[in-house]
Every structure is written in C-alpha cells, then in structure tokens.
Amino acid sequence: MKLSENTPWLLVGGDLRKDAPYFVPLGFLVAVLQVVGYGYFNKANWGETLLLEHLAFHSTAFSILFLWGGRLLLIWQGKRRGMAYLDAMITNVANRAVGFASVAACVIFGFAIVPGISGAFWHAGMFMLCSFYFVCLAEVAANPLLGKGDSKAHPIALGVIIGMPFALSRIAF
C-alpha cells in the first residue's frame, strides 16, 4: 500500500504538543519530589504516588480493546444498520484514550529527565521506553483500523505495543 503525501506521521502529535508544556515540567517536579522525599524524608515515595496518579494504563488498554471491537463491528454491520451511536461512542472513547495516554507519556518523559541528569541512565532509559510505549498506545487509539486513514507510524506503534512486553521480558533486570 502506497501512502499518500498528506498522510500524517502521527495523529496524536497535536495532543502531545498541547499536553507537553504542562505535563513534562509536572513530571520533572514529581521526580524531584521523589528524590527529595527518598533522600531526606526517611525514604518517602511521594513522587511515585504522584506519578502513578497520572498513569491510566489499564483504562487506556481496555479502551483500545473496546475500540478494536467497536470498529470491527462497524466494519461488519455498519453499512447494513445505522450505527451512528456506536460511531459517536468510538470517536469519544478514542479521544479519551488518546488524552489518557498523551498525559501519561508527557509525565513519564518529564520524570525521566531527573534520572538522566543524576546519572542513572538505565532508569532514565526505562522511563523513556515507558513514555514511548504510551505514545504508541495513543497512536493506536487514535487510528482507525488498518488502511482507513491511519498514520504512517501506525504499523510501527502496533508492533511496539505487541513486541515491547515480550522484548523486555527477555532482559535480565
């Protein structure tokens, strides 16, 4: 399949640009709070608690599963039956899932800066991989099924979502 010239690389690029100015510095401040709490307040995990408040992994993953099922149902029965409600619900859930994943990716990216500055490059790399994984979740949520208006990065994002858990399970931590 040859992609047209006006096919975007990422459908979630606008959401990431909109969320990054607020949530990347917030992630940075949460990481600083984690360092301060752990180092000076009897190993308190304040930063971890605040970071987990911004991660909605299970909601995002479940939303993507719903989106795939709903989109398959629309392809299968959409032309025979008027399913405007399902189409509107899929659009709404896709927008919400992209919002969840975009916020999580930006917060984790900001959180990864502090370990990178302090020299904990392994931890910074793992946080960056997690941030990349959430960007891929957002991209898959934003795209319709294969071949119908998807972005250029959609196959890559789908491969990352499927392959990264298997690849990371092979790394000895």
- Three-state secondary structure along 121-161? HHHHHHHHHHHHHHHHHHHHHHCCCCCCCCCCCHHHHHHHH
Model pLDDT for residues 121-134, shown as the tens digit of each residue: 999 999 999 999 99
Q: Where are the domains of the chain?
A: 12-36+57-172
Token duo for residue 158: 């789908």
Token duo for residue 93: 């859930």
CA-based nearest residue to 107, from 173, 40, 59, 48: 48
Secondary structure of residue 10 in the 3-state scheme: coil
Tell whether the torsion through CA atoms of 150, 155, 157 and 158 is positive or negative.
positive
The answer to pTM > 0.95 is no
Q: What is the mean pLDDT of the chain?
A: 87
The lowest-confidence range among 4-8, 93-97, 128-132, 139-143 is 4-8
Model pLDDT for residues 132-173, shown as the tens digit of each residue: 999 999 999 998 665 666 778 888 888 999 998 888 888 755
Distance CA 8, CA 13 (A): 9
Task: Output the CA–CA distances (angstroms, integers) from residue 31 to 66, 140, 157, in the order listed.
Answer: 33, 28, 27
Q: At what angle do helices 13-40 and 121-142 cross, to 10 degrees?
A: 150
The answer to whether 106 touches 19, Cβ cutoff 8 Å, is yes
Is the pLDDT reported for residue 35 higher than 60?
Answer: yes
Higher per-residue confidence, 77 vs 35? 35
